[in-house]
């Protein structure tokens, strides 16, 4: 075998030697691949000392190797390996072997034997460890070979008793990754040198190394065990005790791994019973583990603390009794029992007294404690979260908050209890923690009702200067239940204060009040006279309708009134008027109301409020019917067809406005039909019958139509989310038609033949790529334009351009409308610029040549991957336009399919004499290549990007998808 | 047995005047050198005559370590070093070294300039004293001399507070100074690694207290200030210059920042400004948040907090003022208090403990009419709030530290005796370690069991390793044979042959003999043969030889039989063995011989005689 191999190597080698003799450049190129291994061989032979060899190897490692030549290279490396005396070079070779066996398309099983052989002769521990690492790579590359695995595992057993920690580490890693999951391994292990029992399974062997003298090996053993678990092996319960012992290890990485191990076991055997040491009692294993991990929350190392806190959150099976202990803390002062501030607050609330806490010594200790009952060192789960939430490192605090969230979601009683602690976290020094705890509170808010004092604390955060915090809090308030009308009043008061302080929060505050009102109609009812400042005897002055605060109050009241029919009786006249106004201007915030005695309002509203959920279905039906109707278009006269399309488009547009759920679908259909309509108009009989010079004018409209269709198809493709490949195919089909039209028109107008040939070729390419991309969809495109084209394809590719144009012209006119099938969910990407509002008359003044920052705040709906696609366009009055790409960090995700863009754009311009308006709008950037390449081919380490053929001429562009906002700016000349 | 002796000169069952002497491995160390706030006579300084009646302390002390800059931990330092006389090294952390002289100078000014005391240390003495100070870094091991090494750990409490780990050979002591296990707005929590010292000397100020979470207190504090400001009132916060004041400043500063508040915050000038400067410098000693953000903005460069001027007190509108001193007994805080006391919109927040007799104490107890100097009375209409911000570890924190360090013995100082008693009981119960609480001048002695390092010859180690398994089993101790040689203060473990060679001694054979009497009617030769066959049947796997000269040899044991002189039935068995062999088994085997008569137990004595 070896001789044969050597021969192969030399064969390759000799090939290379020949090349310079022949000196034919063409051949050189072709043979460049196998020469790699040979070049390496030459280099290595040239190397006089180990540093040189190392240098060569390092250089070699930077270059890619093709899958075919890997084996040759490996042979050469191995050959050199045997000769090499220097450890570092051997180490590098060993690592290269591992790297090479990862090459895609290369099966490393042929080098296993050699790698194992080298192992037996190796003296250096470091090299040994590296070789084992290589074996690990090989083993993971070949998962379907049990025999090989068995061999590798045996190798690992043999070296487990090495004195160097690195070797033991790697062996354990090997066992963890390759140890047999099903059967106990080592049966065939008859080697005389193995002192380990022949019939022991992987787990007990690995667990032996839990007590290794080196902490790194202990960690590796735990990690290997975890790896086994991940691979689906059931870890024995006996490991539990050993893992628990490692929780008190001196080294943090061991403790951290042990925490994971204990957690794994607690999930595997939650219900089994373990004894409590030094007592006769027994508890469930999951409780025991919970207690032990809770203890780790006050560990000395913060890494372990984070790990422990995180782990706690996923132990949902724990008994409620234990769970509640994590929030337990018994205070004392001079051995007297003291109540916590939380308890005091609760009592105060219960006794009906409001917010005192201003008495000296109101926290004075009460009863005397029995010294024996005070348990200082918390055994078990006691106070784990109390510690975790007060930790020095914010990572631990965040982990603890998250864990609280998980546990609270599964246990309402616990949620109630942890409320005080979460509310306390609103006051953390790190904003991230504050934000996180607000989010958590929102998530568990279905379980809880806030008490007045708690709400007070929550509301205090409304003055926070961070916008994120305030908005998170508004969101929280939307979902919160409160208990009394005072709470509502308090919340309203604080929200108004917030509004006053930060006017930009207007929308968010209104929305918050909307939910607050609709959630608590009965609590709002007694407040109404006060809120609207009505008086039983006197007429009060009519409030200012433009006051955001007044609008806020009205939003609260109207939403409460929706489910509280007695409320409108308390309204004064102007309230009704304001209702009508707001219902119209802020319809998303003000619900339709049944107002007795206000006929016209009632009548108008009943139209809107009448249809409930059934309306969506009926609208859907209508949509479908319209589409069906359009499909009959073939049978109609041209003019009739156009009218029908016109009508349907109008219908659909109106439908989209009325039924927001279907807006996306309706818009999509309308746009599609508009494309069809345009196409139809462009193909009018008249146009084509005329002589070329005469129809020049007509031609202009047709060309414009083709261009417009193209644009619309891009919109269709990229502006809507939820499209299936069927729809995409349809869109591409329309695009193809438009391109054909363009081609025909160019043929008619321009005389240059070269130009025509070029565009013909391009068109044919387009057709081909269409066929390639939508191969699966072709059966659905029966009798369509493409279908016909593909039939004629052999003829097309060979015929002359003029002929081609003729064929296209006839096919275009013969092909009918492609029926559009509606996907399940289709949404149009929309963007609304909230800020700047465009209402300001004060120009933004700045010195020309310098920049001014303009704050932009926008909500994006149904935009996929906004970080890469959304751009801001600034249009100056002189036609100059800038496109600004916002930072990824400027996008926030407040909800599903919703994004928020808060960014600053920098404006600059030369001096103007008068303030003038610039336009700001959002653009959606698209690139046709990004979608056509659905799975970007993975590049191995050996390939480079340049070798990829340009797949398709990628079309890139932008679609404006928000209304433009005008901003006054005034660049002034710099003063000298 | 080696001992560690600990003698508190101050802070033994008491708070204040911390000064603890430790003798460890022949070294004498003084931990802290503080003064007592409560006394104005000689009792305010530790009794240095305990160490030496006359003469300088340098000869008796190897080093002095100061844990932090509070005066009850460093107040007596210039007195000791300059007036009593000490020239040895003094160790303290960098921030302590920077801030300590400011406080000492302040202390000196008050005692000498205001109270007019004489025979007190001078400014020059403070400077001279500080020249003897060697600064420490966190986690840096400093070699005081060849054997004594010290290492500082972070202690929270105040800026630069440190715990020290003192080590001589394998004996070690940890002194905590004052520490805090819960982080606050400007400092982190104390931390120590598992150093397993022989004694952990811990403060125990809050031995019987478990505190509520810091967050509640902070929130309350902020809420009170905020409410008062919104009403348009003025808030007075009397503070001591260093430590808590900075924490509260940070707290208010960040709150102002967060809430976008505009009302001014003032800080009384003087001492505090200088101190703030050091807080800005020693960023590495602060907590995570400040450390992480200082690149963008140093938190101690306050945006909203400005220096106070006397005239500002009369300005209209809301404001917050930090003023010294903390107990409203004199100075600026009292002046401002007098001005503002009449308005119920205003508020005073007492952030700490107040000594009896001070105005602070009186108003906290609800007194609404105060008698001022002269006849004047002051109506207190403003709100009085109490807010406890203390930076000592509570009982739980102390236990947590013990769990972190895993000491072998515990020693409590810096606390009240009754409270210590409780904690002592708890510690002994939970950790089952000894806990001591010596009074001032009382010495606690702890015997240690130090491990003595011994050099072992490599050959011997390899030979013993070769006897069993490739790796030593870490779970089991293993015995080995060798000879321990003590020579010139060094210990060596070598094989016995080498030891003999090194010492130039001859090897001696040691043999034990033993007579066993048996009742056996057979002749000597027969008896011997019977013994031989019996042993042969019992001791399988041993080489047993019957030699022609009338002896049986089992391995190295020789057995001879002779009849006794009086009675031919009584046979005397002579056993002889070298000292390595376990004889008893053989002896028992022989007892089990199938003789008619049992060996006489009274005659069954062992005679061991040496062969030389």
Spatial separation of the C-alpha atoms in residues A480 and A515, rounded to whole Å: 9
Q: What percent of chain B has pLDDT over 90?
A: 25
Query: pLDDT confidence of A607, banded at 50, 70, 90?
Result: very low
Report the residue from A358, A378, A429 with minimal CB separation from B185. Answer: A429
Instruction: Say if residue A517 is exposed, middle or buried (CB neighbours under 10 Å; 0-12, 13-18, 19+).
Output: buried
Range name among A18-22, A885-889, B92-96, B122-126 with the lowest pLDDT average:
A18-22
Contact (CB<8Å) A501/B260: yes
Letter string b/e over residues B183-194, b meaning 16 or more CB atoms within 10 A of that residue's CB: bbbbbbbbbbbe
Report the residue from B223, B403, B475 with minimal CB separation from A460. Answer: B223
Q: Is residue B550 left, alpha or beta, with left meaning phi > 0 and alpha meaning psi from -120 to 50? A: left
The 3-state DSSP class for residue B74 equals helix
Range name among A436-445, A478-487, A538-547, A613-622 with the lowest pLDDT average:
A613-622
Give pLDDT, residue A266: 92
Measured between CB atoms, does A208 come within 8 Å of chain B? no
Contact (CB<8Å) B365/A501: no
Give pLDDT, residue A16: 42
Contact between residue A246 and residue A254 where contact means Cβ atoms under 8 Å apart? yes
> Cα angle at A397 between A395 and A402, to 5 degrees?
95
Query: Does the annotation mark B203 as catalytic?
Result: yes
Domain ranges of chain B: 3-210+391-440, 214-386, 452-466+482-508, 511-592
- Kindly compute the dihedral angle of the four CA atoms of residues B516, B520, B522, B524, in this order, to the nearest 10 degrees: 10
Contact between residue A150 and residue A176 where contact means Cβ atoms under 8 Å apart? no
Which residue from A minimizes the CA distance to B194?
A250
Contact (CB<8Å) B419/A463: no
Give pLDDT, residue A652: 84
Residue A327 bridge partners (DSSP): none
- Kindly compute the dihedral angle of the four CA atoms of residues A293, A294, A295, A299, in this order, to the nearest 10 degrees: 80
If you write DSSP's letter for every residue of B136-205 in order, what string do you get?
Answer: E-BT-EEESSSSEEEEEEE--TTTT-EEEEEEETTEEEEE--S--SS--SS-----------SEEEEE-T
- pLDDT tens, residue by residue, A517-537: 888 888 888 888 888 887 777
Give pLDDT, residue B20: 94
Spatial separation of the C-alpha atoms in residues A404 and A326, rounded to whole Å: 10
- pLDDT tens, residue by residue, A900-910: 888 888 888 88
Q: Do domains B3-210+391-440 and B214-386 have the same CATH topology?
A: no
Spatial separation of the C-alpha atoms in residues B236 and A826, rounded to whole Å: 62
Q: Which long-range contacts (CB under 8 A, 24 or more apart) does B269-275 make?
A: B269/B307, B269/B308, B269/B309, B270/B241, B270/B324, B271/B102, B271/B106, B271/B241, B271/B242, B271/B324, B272/B241, B272/B242, B272/B245, B272/B322, B272/B324, B273/B307, B274/B102, B275/B99, B275/B102, B275/B241, B275/B242, B275/B246
Query: pLDDT confidence of A690, banded at 50, 70, 90?
Result: low
Q: For A548-596, what is the HEC assignment?
A: HHHHHHHHHHHHHHHCCCCHHHHCCHHHHHHHHHHHHHCCCCCCCCCCC
Average pLDDT over residues A135-145: 82
Letter string b/e over residues A754-785, b meaning 16 or more CB atoms within 10 A of that residue's CB: eebeebbeebeebbebbeebbeebeeebeebb
- pLDDT tens, residue by residue, A32-53: 444 566 666 777 777 777 788 8
* CA neighbor of A398 nearest in space, from A348, A343, A440: A440
Which one of B157, B206, B216, B233 would you mutate to disrupt binding with A, by most A Cβ within 10 Å of its Cβ?
B216
Give pLDDT, residue B134: 95
Range name among A947-951, B479-483, B586-590 with the lowest pLDDT average:
A947-951
Give pLDDT, residue B161: 93
Average pLDDT across chain B, whole number: 83
The phi, psi pair for A592, rounded to 5°, reads -70, 140
Q: How far is CA B130 from CA B82, B104, B126, B135, B163, in A?
A: 10, 11, 6, 10, 20
Q: Between the ranges A636-640, A648-652, B226-230, where is the mean pLDDT highest? A: B226-230
Q: CA torsion sign, A684 to A690 to A691 to A695?
A: negative
Contact (CB<8Å) A465/B260: yes
Query: ipTM, 2 decimals?
Result: 0.78
Contact (CB<8Å) B208/A333: yes
DSSP state of B438: P
Give pLDDT, residue A472: 87
DSSP state of A882: E
- pLDDT tens, residue by residue, A231-284: 888 888 888 988 998 998 889 999 999 999 999 999 999 888 888 776 677 888
Set of chain A residues whose Cβ sits within 8 Å of the Cβ of B193: 300
Sheet holding B490-494, edge to edge: B455-456, B490-494, B483-487
Q: Which residues contact B72 (CB under 8 A, 6 or more apart)?
A: B11, B15, B16, B17, B18, B34, B35, B36, B37
CATH topology for B511-592? TATA-Binding Protein (3.30.310)
Q: CA torsion sign, A373 to A379 to A381 to A385?
A: positive
Spatial separation of the C-alpha atoms in residues A459 and A438, rounded to whole Å: 11
Range name among A733-747, A812-826, A893-907 with the lowest pLDDT average:
A812-826
Q: Is the pLDDT of residue B477 over 80?
A: no
Give pLDDT, residue A624: 82
CATH architecture of B214-386: 3-Layer(aba) Sandwich (3.40)
Contact (CB<8Å) A460/B226: yes
Q: B319-323 and B265-267 as β-strands: parallel, antiparallel, unpaired?
A: parallel
Set of chain B residues whose Cβ sits within 8 Å of the Cβ of A213: 474
Contact (CB<8Å) A377/B399: yes
Report the residue from B189, B254, B384 with minimal CB separation from A429. Answer: B254
Average pLDDT over residues A335-342: 63
- pLDDT tens, residue by residue, A307-322: 999 999 898 888 888 8
Chain centroid to CA B87: how far?
26
Contact between residue A579 and residue A590 where contact means Cβ atoms under 8 Å apart? yes
The phi, psi pair for B29, rounded to 5°, reads -130, 140
Q: Which residue has the higher pLDDT, B591 or A712?
A: A712
Average pLDDT across chain A, whole number: 77
The phi, psi pair for B145, rounded to 5°, reads -140, -160
The phi, psi pair for A157, rounded to 5°, reads -60, -40
Q: Is residue A193 left, alpha or beta, with left meaning phi > 0 and alpha meaning psi from -120 to 50? A: alpha
Query: pLDDT confidence of B351, banded at 50, 70, 90?
Result: confident
Q: Is the pLDDT of residue A335 over 60?
A: no
Q: What percent of chain A has pLDDT over 90?
A: 7
Spatial separation of the C-alpha atoms in residues A805 and A811, rounded to whole Å: 10
Range name among A637-646, A753-762, A945-954 with the lowest pLDDT average:
A945-954
* CA neighbor of B561 nearest in space, from B528, B536, B529: B528
Q: Measured over all CA atoms, what is the biggest interatomic distance in chain B, rounded to whole angstroms?
A: 128
Counted residue by residue, chain B has a size of 612
Contact between residue B201 and residue B176 where contact means Cβ atoms under 8 Å apart? yes
Q: Is the pLDDT of residue B611 over 50?
A: no
Query: pLDDT confidence of A113, banded at 50, 70, 90?
Result: confident
Q: What is the CA radius of gyration of chain A?
A: 38
Give pLDDT, residue A106: 77
Spatial separation of the C-alpha atoms in residues A710 and A734, rounded to whole Å: 8
Which one of A376, A398, A453, A461 would you mutate to disrupt binding with B, by most B Cβ within 10 Å of its Cβ?
A376
CATH topology for B3-210+391-440? Metallo-beta-lactamase; Chain A (3.60.15)
> Cα angle at A157 between A153 and A160, to 5 degrees?
130
Q: Between the ranges A118-122, A946-950, B9-13, B547-551, where is the mean pLDDT highest? A: B9-13
Contact (CB<8Å) B475/A211: yes
Set of chain B residues whose Cβ sits within 8 Å of the Cβ of A298: 400, 403
Counted residue by residue, chain A has a size of 976
Set of chain B residues whose Cβ sits within 8 Å of the Cβ of A464: 258-259
Task: Write down the catalytic residue from B82, B171, B203, B218.
Answer: B203
Range name among A188-197, A947-956, B352-361, B592-601 with the lowest pLDDT average:
A188-197
Give pLDDT, residue B473: 61
Spatial separation of the C-alpha atoms in residues A508 and A514, rounded to whole Å: 10
Q: Is the pLDDT of residue A482 over 60?
A: yes
Range name among A18-22, A94-98, A681-685, A959-963 with the lowest pLDDT average:
A18-22
Q: Is the pLDDT of residue A457 over 50?
A: yes
Give pLDDT, residue B442: 92
Q: Is the pLDDT of residue A693 over 60?
A: no
- pLDDT tens, residue by residue, B259-311: 888 899 998 766 667 778 888 889 889 888 888 888 888 888 888 888 888 88
Measured between CB atoms, does A364 come within 8 Å of chain B? no
């Amino acid at each position: 075998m070896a001789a044969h191999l050597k021969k192969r190597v030399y064969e390759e080698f000799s090939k290379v030697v020949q090349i310079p003799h022949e000196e034919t450049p063409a051949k050189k190129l072709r043979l460049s691949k196998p020469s790699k291994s040979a070049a390496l061989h030459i280099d290595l032979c040239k190397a006089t000392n180990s540093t040189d060899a190392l240098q060569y190897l390092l250089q070699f490692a930077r270059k890619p190797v093709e899958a075919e030549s890997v084996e040759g290279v490996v042979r050469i490396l191995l050959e050199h390996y045997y000769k090499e005396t220097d450890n570092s070079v051997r180490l590098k070779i060993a690592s290269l072997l591992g790297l090479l066996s990862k090459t895609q398309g290369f099966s490393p099983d042929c080098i296993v034997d050699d790698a194992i052989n080298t192992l037996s002769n190796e003296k250096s521990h470091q090299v040994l460890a590296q070789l084992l690492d290589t074996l690990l790579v090989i083993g993971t590359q070949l998962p379907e070979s049990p025999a090989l695995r068995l061999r590798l595992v045996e190798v690992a057993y043999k070296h487990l008793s090495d004195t160097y920690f690195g070797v033991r580490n790697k062996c354990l890693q090997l066992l963890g990754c390759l140890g047999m999951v099903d059967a106990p391994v080592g049966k065939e292990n008859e080697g005389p040198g193995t002192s380990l029992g022949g019939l022991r399974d992987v787990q007990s062997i690995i667990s032996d190394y839990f007590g290794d003298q080196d902490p790194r090996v202990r960690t590796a053993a735990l990690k290997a065990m975890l790896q086994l678990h991940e691979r689906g092996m059931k870890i024995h319960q006996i490991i539990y005790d050993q893992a628990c012992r490692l929780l008190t290890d001196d080294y943090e990485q061991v403790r951290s791994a042990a925490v994971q191990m204990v957690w794994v076991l607690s999930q595997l055997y939650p219900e089994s019973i373990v004894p409590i040491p030094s007592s006769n009692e027994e508890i469930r294993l999951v409780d025991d583990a919970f207690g032990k991990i809770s203890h780790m929350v006050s560990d000395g190392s913060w890494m372990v603390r984070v790990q422990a806190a995180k782990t706690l959150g996923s132990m949902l099976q724990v008994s409620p009794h234990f769970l509640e202990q994590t929030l337990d803390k018994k205070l004392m002062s001079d051995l007297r029992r003291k109540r916590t501030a939380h308890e005091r607050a609760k009592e105060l609330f219960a006794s009906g007294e409001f917010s005192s806490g201003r008495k000296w010594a109101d926290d004075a200790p009460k009863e005397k404690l029995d010294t024996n009952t005070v348990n200082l060192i918390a055994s078990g789960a006691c106070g784990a979260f109390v510690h975790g939430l007060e930790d020095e490192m914010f990572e631990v605090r965040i982990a603890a908050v998250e864990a609280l969230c998980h546990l609270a979601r599964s246990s309402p009683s616990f949620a109630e209890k942890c409320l005080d602690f979460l509310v306390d976290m609103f006051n953390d020094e790190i904003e991230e923690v504050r934000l996180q705890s607000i989010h958590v509170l929102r998530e568990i808010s279905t379980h809880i009702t806030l008490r007045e004092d708690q709400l007070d604390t929550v509301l205090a955060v409304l003055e926070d200067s961070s916008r994120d915090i305030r908005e998170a809090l508004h969101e929280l308030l939307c979902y919160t239940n409160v208990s009394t009308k005072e709470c509502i009043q308090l919340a309203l008061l604080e929200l108004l204060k917030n509004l006053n302080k930060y006017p930009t929060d207007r929308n968010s505050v209104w929305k918050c009040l909307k939910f607050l009102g609709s959630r608590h109609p009965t609590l709002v009812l007694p407040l109404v006279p006060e809120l609207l400042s009505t008086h039983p005897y006197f007429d009060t002055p009519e409030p200012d309708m433009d006051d955001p605060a007044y609008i806020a109050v009205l939003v609260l009241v109207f939403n409460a009134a929706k489910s509280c029919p007695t409320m409108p009786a308390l309204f004064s006249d102007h309230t009704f008027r304001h209702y009508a106004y707001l219902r119209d201007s802020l319809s998303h915030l003000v619900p339709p109301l049944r107002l007795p005695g206000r006929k016209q309002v009632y009548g108008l509203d009943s139209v809107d409020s009448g249809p409930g959920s059934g309306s969506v279905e009926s609208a859907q039906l209508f949509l479908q019917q319209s589409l069906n109707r359009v499909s009959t278009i073939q049978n109609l006269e041209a003019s009739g067809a156009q009218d029908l399309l016109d009508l349907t488009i109008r219908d659909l547009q109106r439908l989209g406005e009325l039924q927001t759920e279907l807006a996306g679908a309706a818009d999509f259909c309308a746009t599609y039909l508009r494309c069809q309509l345009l196409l139809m108009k462009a193909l009018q009989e008249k146009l084509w019958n005329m002589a070329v010079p005469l129809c020049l004018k007509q031609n202009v409209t047709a060309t414009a139509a083709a261009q417009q269709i193209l644009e619309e198809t891009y919109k269709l493709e990229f502006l809507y989310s939820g499209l299936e490949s069927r729809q995409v195919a349809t869109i591409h089909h329309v695009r193809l038609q438009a391109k054909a039209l363009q081609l025909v028109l160019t043929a008619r107008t321009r005389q240059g033949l070269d130009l025509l040939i070029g565009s013909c070729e391009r068109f044919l390419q387009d057709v081909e790529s269409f066929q390639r991309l939508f191969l699966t969809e072709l059966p659905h495109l029966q009798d369509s334009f493409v279908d016909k084209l593909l039939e004629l394809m052999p003829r097309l590719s060979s015929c002359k351009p003029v002929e081609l144009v003729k064929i296209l012209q006839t096919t275009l006119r013969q092909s009918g409308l492609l029926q559009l099938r509606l996907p399940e969910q289709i949404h149009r990407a929309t963007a609304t610029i909230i800020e700047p509002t465009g209402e300001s008359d004060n120009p933004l003044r700045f010195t020309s040549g310098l920049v001014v920052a303009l704050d932009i705040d926008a909500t994006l709906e149904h935009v996929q991957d906004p970080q890469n696609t959304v751009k801001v366009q600034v249009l100056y009055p002189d036609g100059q336009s800038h496109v600004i790409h916002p930072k990824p960090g400027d996008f926030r995700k407040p909800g599903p399919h919703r994004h928020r863009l808060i960014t600053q754009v920098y404006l600059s311009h030369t001096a103007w004499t008068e303030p003038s308006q610039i336009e700001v709008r959002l653009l959606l950037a698209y690139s046709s290549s990004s979608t056509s390449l659905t799975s970007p081919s993975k590049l191995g380490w050996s390939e480079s990007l340049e070798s990829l053929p340009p797949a398709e001429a990628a079309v890139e562009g932008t679609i404006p998808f928000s209304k433009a906002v005008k901003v006054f700016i005034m660049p002034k000349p710099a003063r000298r | 047995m080696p001992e560690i002796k600990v003698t508190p000169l101050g802070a033994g069952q008491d708070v204040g005047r911390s000064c603890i002497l430790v003798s460890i491995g022949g070294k004498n160390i003084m931990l802290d050198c503080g003064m007592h706030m409560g006394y104005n006579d000689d009792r305010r300084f530790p009794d240095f005559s305990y160490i030496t009646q006359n003469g300088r302390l340098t000869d008796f002390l190897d080093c002095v370590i100061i844990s932090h800059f509070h005066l009850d931990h460093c107040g007596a330092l210039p007195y000791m070093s300059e007036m009593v006389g000490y020239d040895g090294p003094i160790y303290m952390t960098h921030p302590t070294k920077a801030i300590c002289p400011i406080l000492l100078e302040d202390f000196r000014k008050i005692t000498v300039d205001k109270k007019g005391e004489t025979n007190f240390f001078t400014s020059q003495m403070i400077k001279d004293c500080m020249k003897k100070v060697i600064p420490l870094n966190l986690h840096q091991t400093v070699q005081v001399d060849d054997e004594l090494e010290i290492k500082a750990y972070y202690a929270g409490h105040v800026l630069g507070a440190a715990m020290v780990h003192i080590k001589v050979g394998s004996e070690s002591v940890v002194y905590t100074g004052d520490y805090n296990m819960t982080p606050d707005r400007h400092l982190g929590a104390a931390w120590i690694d598992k150093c397993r010292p022989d004694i952990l000397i811990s403060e125990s100020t809050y031995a019987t207290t478990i505190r509520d979470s810091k967050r509640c207190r902070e929130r309350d504090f902020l809420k009170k200030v905020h409410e008062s400001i919104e009403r348009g009132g003025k808030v007075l916060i009397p503070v001591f210059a260093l430590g808590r004041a900075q924490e509260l400043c940070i707290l208010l500063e960040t709150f102002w920042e967060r809430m976008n508040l505009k009302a001014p915050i003032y800080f009384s000038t003087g001492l505090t400004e200088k101190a703030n400067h050091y807080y800005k410098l020693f960023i590495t000693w602060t907590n995570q948040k400040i450390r992480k953000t200082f690149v963008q903005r140093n938190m101690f460069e306050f945006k909203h907090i400005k220096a106070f001027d006397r005239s500002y007190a009369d300005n209209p509108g809301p404001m917050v003022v930090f003023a010294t001193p903390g107990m409203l007994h004199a100075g600026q805080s009292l002046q401002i208090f007098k001005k503002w006391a009449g308005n119920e919109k205003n508020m005073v927040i007492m952030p700490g403990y107040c000594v009896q007799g001070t105005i602070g104490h009186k108003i906290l107890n609800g007194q609404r009419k105060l008698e001022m100097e002269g006849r004047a009375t002051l109506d207190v209409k403003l709100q009085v709030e109490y807010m406890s911000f203390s930076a000592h570890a509570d009982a739980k924190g102390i236990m947590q530290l013990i769990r972190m360090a895993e000491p072998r013995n515990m020693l409590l100082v810096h606390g009240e005796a009754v409270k210590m008693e409780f904690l002592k009981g708890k510690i002994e119960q939970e950790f089952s370690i000894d806990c001591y609480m010596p009074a001032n001048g009382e010495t606690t002695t702890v015997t240690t069991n130090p491990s003595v390092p011994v050099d072992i010859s490599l050959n011997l180690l390899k030979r013993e390793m070769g006897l069993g398994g490739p790796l030593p089993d870490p779970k089991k101790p293993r015995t080995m044979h060798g000879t321990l040689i003590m020579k010139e203060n060094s210990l060596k473990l070598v094989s016995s042959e080498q030891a003999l060679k090194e010492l130039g001694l001859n090897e001696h054979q040691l043999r034990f003999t033993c007579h066993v009497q048996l009742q056996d009617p057979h002749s000597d030769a027969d008896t011997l043969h019977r013994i031989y066959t019996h042993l042969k049947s019992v001791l399988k796997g041993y080489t047993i030889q019957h030699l022609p000269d009338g002896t049986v040899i089992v391995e190295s044991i020789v057995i001879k039989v002779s009849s006794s002189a009086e009675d031919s039935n009584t046979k005397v068995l002579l056993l002889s063995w070298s000292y390595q062999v376990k004889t008893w088994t053989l002896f028992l085997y022989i007892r089990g011989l199938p003789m008619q008569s049992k060996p006489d137990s009274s005659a069954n004595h062992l005679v061991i005689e040496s062969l030389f």
